[in-house]
Every structure is written in C-alpha cells, then in structure tokens.
Amino acid sequence: MKQDSCQSARALDVPPGFLAPVAVSWQWARSTTKCETWESRRRFRVRLGGVKNLCAMSTVWKVGIGANLNLNVMTARRKLNVLDHQPARLPGYAIAFHEGLRPFMVEPAFATIRLAEEGDVCVHGLAVLLSEEDARKLDRQEGASKVYSVEEILAELYDGRKVKAEVYVAKWALSSVPPSKRYLTLMIEGARMLGVHAEYLNHLESLPYYIPSEETIRKRSLWPKPQTLPPITLSDMQEHKKKEGARMWYSLLGYVFERNRITFSPLLREGCDSSARRLAFLRCQSLDSDDNARPFPRLDQLSSDEREYFLQAMDNDTATEGVEMVGHLVEFWEDQVLDHLLGDLCTAAETTMTP
C-alpha cells in the first residue's frame, strides 16, 4: 500500500508528532532536549535529512509470513532496503502450506494465507516498509505474476499501528502438504529473532515438515553410479547450450541432468552446476555468485541436513517426467577430497550420498 512515508518518521527516532520536517525551524530544533549540544544538533540534522528523503519517496508495506518472516532473507538474500520493520498480526487469517506453488524447486510447499476458521491460530509475520521500487522488485523475486496474487489487507503492528499492507496469496486452491525442514526452520528462526508472540512461535514449532518415504529412499539406491555415466566437462555443457533445439543440461552434486528447457528458475541455470547456488539458497546467502566458479561444494563438508536437502532436490529431479541423468561432471569430482578416478566415483557416491 502506498502511503506518506512521514507516517514512519518515528523509525528514524525523530520527536513525536514530527510529520512535516519542512515546517520545523532550527530554532525549535535547538530548543528541544534532543539538541542541547552541538553534537546532538548535528545528529538531529542527520535525522532530519533522512526524514526529508523518506518523505519524498513512495513506499509500500509488505508482510512476509514464510521465508520472508526472516529479516536476513529480506536484506541479505533479496537485497532490499528495509526502511522500517515490525512484527505484525493479520487478524482473520491463518497460515497454510499449499503444494506445488513454485515449480522446479525441491520444496514441497510454500507458505501462504487463508481465511481463518474457528480454532485457527492467527498468522503473524514481518511487516517491512519498502520503497515502491523495492516492493516491485520483491514481487518479481517471488514470481507474483505467476503463482501469487498481491492482496492488500489490514496488518496490526506490534507497536500499535494499523497499516494497509500487501501480502502474497496463492492464485489457486491446492492440497495442503508439509513444508521442507529447511523452509520451516527458516520461518522458526525468523520468528524467534523477530520476537513474535509465544503462542504463534509455539504453533510454528509444532508444525510437521516433509520426510521422504521409504519408497523414495529406496529409489535413491537405483540411481546410476557416476562412473557408469559419460564424463562431461563444464566446457561440454556450455557447448551443448549453443546447439539449436538441444535439451537443457545442468548438473547437481556431480551428476549432469538433461531436461526440456524452462523459461525461469531461481536455482537452475542452463549449462551450469547448481550445487553452489542451491547451497547458497539453503544458507540464506546471495545467489549472485558464478555458478561454475571453483572449487565446487565439497560433499564431506555438508551437514546432514544440507546433504538431505540435496538428496531431496535429486529426488525431485529424478521423479520429474522427461528428466534424465546423462553424465557426471568431471570438475565437480576433481574438487572432492578423494581420489576422483572413475573407479572410485562409485565409492564416493555410496559414502556421501546415502542418508
């Protein structure tokens, strides 16, 4: 919701009721207790300049209830300039996890909101004030035009303010499934850092997360061993990309996959290894690094949760119709701390890719 940004002047620690900086004289500034010394007057002038710039800006309140509940995601990964933020309640709404909102990703479900029913826990989230430019940037990052609609609802901030805020709502009703452990953990960590009410934090901690079935784990044992697949280099993948009409090649954890070309995915780049990108995504880091930069992630340095996350990504890819394993990425295995000769790739896969 666009608004006069002077309403958020308190975020810059200016005096109460300070809504029109241009109307405030420096004589008043000197008389206030905040400006009794030269140094305090200097600090006040800095704040005043910040308020003038903010008031000239068109701003939008957004409320994040999933991964965006974590402020680090908004600032470090999404690279948004958060002008103000507060925990917030969304009266009349509850959290939901709908299956398949984002294709080509390991996540079984992402958070959205739905109308609350009797007995539901009211959803809480992170309300952030963004410039109009950053608000639309976030829309693009979230794929709002594809899977979400941007809805405006009333948010009650913990500091007592009530603001109209934009939220992302699934465009269609889908079946509910548990989110991944990565996603739910990110939400819980964000809620804890934000200081949401204990009732809602306890609710998040009680939610189930996705656990692969015995059948899914059994299928992992049927994956071909890397050394049984043709060796493919980074150069080979880039050359394949230039072939007209060729299917898309990408790699993950030392395997090269082939699939029909896709128009957009935040985690897959044609002709590139996606291991480092997925690991950065998992660790809430920027996705701007070079996908094919070496060294590649080392299997022996992944935590058990990180390893399982990669395995679930491969579960997803191998279960997708039309996706095939067509080779092993030579450079990936060269960067592992083990003998990377073809004869030992089988051992490497068995010791590092078995839950």
Q: In whole angstroms, what is the distance from residue 261 CA to residue 266 CA?
A: 14
Domain 214-352, CATH among 3.30.70, 1.10.10, 1.10.260, 3.10.120: 3.10.120
H/E element, 90: strand 84-90
Residue 250 annotated as part of some ligand binding site: no
Sequence letter at residue 285: Q
Sequence letter at residue 308: E
Question: Can you give the pTM of this predicted structure?
Answer: 0.70
Please identify which residue in the block is written with the tokens 């996959």.
Answer: 257
Domain boundaries, the chain: 1-56, 58-206, 214-352
The DSSP letter of residue 34 is G
Q: In whole angstroms, what is the distance from residue 89 CA to residue 29 CA?
A: 36
Q: Reply yes or no on whether 142 is catalytic.
A: yes
Q: In whole angstroms, what is the distance from residue 55 CA to residue 318 CA?
A: 52
Sequence letter at residue 109: A
Query: Distance between alpha carbon 95 and the CA centroid of its chain, in Å?
Result: 17
Radius of gyration over every alpha carbon of the chain, rounded to an integer in angstroms:
25
Q: Angle at the Cα of 342 (from 338 to 348), degrees rounded to 5?
A: 40
Query: Distance between alpha carbon 148 and the CA centroid of its chain, in Å?
Result: 15
Q: What is the mean pLDDT of each run of 10 residues along the chain (355 residues)?
A: 46 38 37 45 46 66 94 88 97 87 61 92 97 94 81 97 94 79 92 96 96 92 92 96 93 94 75 90 77 88 91 89 94 79 41 41
Per-residue pLDDT at 262? 76
Per-residue pLDDT at 32? 42
| Domain 58-206 architecture | Roll (3.10)
- In this structure, what is the dihedral angle of CA atoms 78, 83, 87, 88, given to the nearest 10 degrees? -100
Among 142, 156, 166, 308, the active-site one is: 142
Per-residue pLDDT at 347? 45
Per-residue pLDDT at 340? 42
Cβ-contact 325, 255 below 8 angstroms: yes
H/E element, 4: strand 2-4
At residue 108, the 3 state secondary structure works out as coil
Q: In whole angstroms, what is the distance from residue 168 CA to residue 96 CA?
A: 12
CA distances from 273 to 33, 187, 244, 279, 338 (A): 59, 28, 21, 11, 20
Q: In whole angstroms, what is the distance from residue 282 CA to residue 98 CA?
A: 20
First to last CA, the chain: 46
- Secondary structure of 132-175 in HEC code, one letter for each residue: HHHHHHHHHHHCCCCCEEEEEEEEEECCCCEEEEEEEEECCCCC
Q: In whole angstroms, what is the distance from residue 113 CA to residue 69 CA?
A: 13
